Amino acid sequence: MTTEIWWTVLGLGAASYAIRLGGFFLALRLPQSGAWARGLDALPGCLIMALVALMMIKGGVIEWVAGLIALLVAAKTRNLPISMLAGVSVVAGLRLFV
């Protein structure tokens, strides 16, 4: 098992680094204007949206309620720590009582 673990650590470490480097070199080759640039500009938003969608699918009603509240607080305050605190408190509170 311990050899297996080391190979996994090294293999996944190397793969992860190759992925990180690959993204930068990929972006170097993409055009700076037009459709490619529009797509690249939209990428961070789409990625975070995809992550949130995945997390919400995995969650239940408590997570949906807390997620909605965190979203409203973030839209209102634009403050990351406060929004995080709101979401975490709602989850903790609801898990306590529901």
Partner 1 sequence: MQAPSTTRSEILLGARDMLPMALAAATYGVAFGLLASQSGFSFLQSLSMSAMVFGGSAQLVALDQLTAGAGVAAAIVAGAALNMRILLITASMRSALVQRPWWQIATGVYLATDASVALMQTAKNRGALASYWYLLGGGALLLLVWVASTSIGAVLSQGIPDPARFGLDFAIVAVFIALLPGLWRGRSDLFPWLVAAGTVALFVVLFPSLAGWGLLLGAISGAVVAGLSHDN
**Minimum distance between the CB of residue 87 and partner 1, rounded to whole angstroms?**
3
Restricting to residues 9-28, name those near partner 1 by CB under 8 A: 9-17, 19-24, 26-28
Distances 42 to 19, 46, 48, 60, 79 between C-alpha atoms, Å: 20, 6, 11, 29, 22
* Residue 64 found at the interface with partner 1 (CB under 8 A): no
Distances 52 to 35, 57, 59 between C-alpha atoms, Å: 25, 9, 10
* Residue 60 found at the interface with partner 1 (CB under 8 A): no
* Residue 4 found at the interface with partner 1 (CB under 8 A): yes
**Minimum distance between the CB of residue 61 and partner 1, rounded to whole angstroms?**
13
Per-residue x/- track, 27-46, partner 1 (CB under 8 A): xx-x----xxxxxxxxxxxx
Helices then strands, counting H and E runs in the chain, come out as: 4, 0
